[in-house]
Structure 1
């Protein structure tokens, strides 16, 4: 029988055994097969993730948002302290490129303020004779960049002496767009810090319950059942209400974050516990124990990576849940408080239905909340499928 072993000098990696019982019979891999068989686990996950178009788009969208929180002072055309008493409740201004058939560039028309004496509503009429051009990479309101140094450079701002409120203004004449950009920093980071607290508690407590079982499992299960039996919103309200009003905005921020993390760990702990109960009897777990591995090493090094796809999906679902929690608390006036600005704080001004009916642009901060939640859900679906070895 003619041998099919590789010729002298030919790498063995190009050959694979056709049957596990006869190493003399070999079959050469095609370049495509070699590319797949020799790829790392992370590369395989990346290839599967790229096929999920909605997840890729959502991931790019979230990356852009999280990158924007680093330079929100630069992106916002006005700073948080800027108020224009002559532009209270001004509606959004439209951006134009042409004026009377001539190209001018991006600009907004001026406005004329009139007070309706019947409804006492401020009414703004467009003045086509006044043009406020938009400048890019311009100097405007001064700000402290991350508290490190002062600057006044903005991505765009109106011409000197003009105004440009692309999403309107609030009851104090503050630019809604700028406040939404600043609010992105708080609303997005509170989810990341909260999920860190939740995952540490959930994986640790759930891992101990699933690995040890017995009385440890019984105690953990009873604690989880008690916490899950409590209504979420009243519990949030009670915990948020006990925070002293004398606390600084930073302390309130971290207090809300810890509250969200302490409440949300129960679901993850139960999922980790059920998975570890089925995996702790596997042979590789017994082998690790016989080699002297400690319980924490067995849990975090051998058991937790076995269901990483579930943890990824849980993370992408938990983050928007915490963003919604902070938004709800701030909307009800029991969460973050001014001068801290978040999407929930901005929506606090839209509590009165009469105000929303007269000035509907005040409810615009709910749009990024919806988009972020949808993006996290799509991203979670793509990451879960990519990390699942059986998908």
Structure 2
């Protein structure tokens, strides 16, 4: 029997494993663009997604400009909101011009010439186009107290010397509508922020307790929410607004309206928080936090609430315009804020008579910022919700 020849050292061994040295898997290096995305923090990813939503970005700029304008309304307004001119009662708006008889002379207005129509006893205003009156900028005019604290009289724009500047006309007392809209925006816009703060605190706390514990606690909370939601909001607002004592100061009425609006809008947010917590409380990271001894308040606040922040953002952008509308409706019906404090609803209270609106349509101008701010909040909410949604 012949013996097979032994393999030579130079020949490969007859088994399937190679004797080549081990080489680790090659790691593909990320491009700078990929590295920028994968290593970016959460807030930066949200910003990149948000800025692709053009309409939401524009709405955010509009909202920011409106809040900045009401923050310095004393400086921007040409008049104080209580300044009266009985010679120009319910006067129409004065248009801004740049050219007079073909020559550029800068921003100016034409003066009014008032006369009384004896047929209908209506004040009529004729424009005198022979005397252009240039506007003044960064000038001294009506005195004010900035945010009620710092006295001053510096204005961005002032009426001409010896003339008037009514960009949006005047009301029944001869007060400038443009200045009053700026001052009124401070009340109407801040009441929305304060109202949503009250409703958010109540909604997150009550809805969080119901969703985290469940059982009888959830059952009791749900019945309370159903009772509150079954009450008609407008009549309840009217009833709560009517019980506020007339002797209260405007500041107390302001905070009373804010609390009322906040107490009525927490139920929807509480239900959203409750449903999300019921789904998230069984997640592994929640069980791990419980086993480590974390208290329910810490688990809800630090682990569960950030998981559905997109829903909270969407709820906030819906609640703020609802609160603004609620204040406007109460003040429009005479049961909300009252003079001497001014808001968009208080200004619209003068437009209840259809005959007055037909003769003086500029009294409806406060409707314009209400519509703009509500649409802007809705569009901004859409963009923020999409940007903060972790599943997109």
The answer to whether the superposition gives a TM-score over 0.5 is: yes
**Distance in 2, Cα, partners of 1:163 & 1:320:** 34
> Do structure 1's residue 386 and structure 2's residue 387 form an aligned pair?
yes
Task: Give CA-to-partner distance per residue, 1:140-170, whole Å, 9 cap, x none.
Answer: 1111112333211111011221101010000
Query: Which residue of structure 2 lines up, in the alignment, with residue 125 of structure 1?
Result: 126
1:27 Cα deviation after fit: 1.4
1:79 Cα deviation after fit: 0.4
Matched residue SS, 2:273: helix
Task: Give CA-to-partner distance per residue, 1:299-347, whole Å, 9 cap, x none.
Answer: 1111111110000000011000000000000000000001111100010
TM-score (norm 1): 0.93
TM-score (norm 2): 0.93
Report if the CA contact (8 A) 1:144-1:150 is conserved: yes
Report if the CA contact (8 A) 1:110-1:129 is conserved: no
> Do structure 1's residue 230 and structure 2's residue 245 form an aligned pair?
no
Query: Which residue of structure 2 lines up, in the alignment, with residue 182 of structure 1?
Result: 183
Query: Which residue of structure 2 lines up, in the alignment, with residue 341 of structure 1?
Result: 342
**Distance in 2, Cα, partners of 1:25 & 1:302:** 38
Report if the CA contact (8 A) 1:3-1:25 is conserved: no
Query: Which residue of structure 2 lines up, in the alignment, with residue 193 of structure 1?
Result: 194
**Distance in 2, Cα, partners of 1:129 & 1:145:** 38
Deviates more, 1:378-387 or 1:60-69: 60-69
**Distance in 1, Cα, partners of 2:336 & 2:382:** 30
Deviates more, 1:108-117 or 1:289-298: 108-117
**Distance in 1, Cα, partners of 2:67 & 2:166:** 24
Task: Give CA-to-partner distance per residue, 1:31-55, whole Å, 9 cap, x none.
Answer: 1110100000011001001101111
Query: Which residue of structure 2 lines up, in the alignment, with residue 353 of structure 1?
Result: 354
Query: Which residue of structure 2 lines up, in the alignment, with residue 202 of structure 1?
Result: 203
Matched residue SS, 1:174: coil
Check 1:261–1:4 CA distance in 2 against 1; reply closer, same or farther (3 A cut): farther
> Do structure 1's residue 259 and structure 2's residue 263 form an aligned pair?
no
1:78 Cα deviation after fit: 0.2
1:4 Cα deviation after fit: 7.3
Aligned Cα root-mean-square deviation (Å): 1.2
Task: Give CA-to-partner distance per residue, 1:40-79, whole Å, 9 cap, x none.
Answer: 0011001001101111111111111111222110000000
Check 1:3–1:376 CA distance in 2 against 1; reply closer, same or farther (3 A cut): farther
Query: Which residue of structure 1 lines up, in the alignment, with residue 168 of structure 2?
Result: 167
**Distance in 1, Cα, partners of 2:204 & 2:172:** 46
Query: Which residue of structure 1 lines up, in the alignment, with residue 151 of structure 2?
Result: 150
- Long gaps (5+) in structure 1: 6-23
Matched residue SS, 1:172: coil
Query: Which residue of structure 1 lines up, in the alignment, with residue 3 of structure 2?
Result: none
**Distance in 2, Cα, partners of 1:234 & 1:355:** 27
Q: Find the structure with the greater CA-based Rg.
A: 2
Query: Which residue of structure 1 lines up, in the alignment, with residue 212 of structure 2?
Result: 211
Task: Give CA-to-partner distance per residue, 1:332-372, whole Å, 9 cap, x none.
Answer: 00000011111000100100000000000000000000000
Deviates more, 1:366-375 or 1:141-150: 141-150
Where do residues 308-347 of structure 1 align in structure 2 (5 Å cutoff)? 308-347=309-348
Check 1:302–1:121 CA distance in 2 against 1; reply closer, same or farther (3 A cut): same
Report if the CA contact (8 A) 1:115-1:121 is conserved: yes
**Distance in 1, Cα, partners of 2:329 & 2:21:** 75
Matched residue SS, 1:143: strand
Query: Which residue of structure 1 lines up, in the alignment, with residue 85 of structure 2?
Result: 84
**Distance in 1, Cα, partners of 2:337 & 2:363:** 18
1:284 Cα deviation after fit: 1.1
**Distance in 1, Cα, partners of 2:283 & 2:207:** 18
**Distance in 2, Cα, partners of 1:176 & 1:80:** 8
Q: After TM superposition, which residue ranges in structure 1, 4 or more long, deviate above 4 angstroms?
A: 1-5
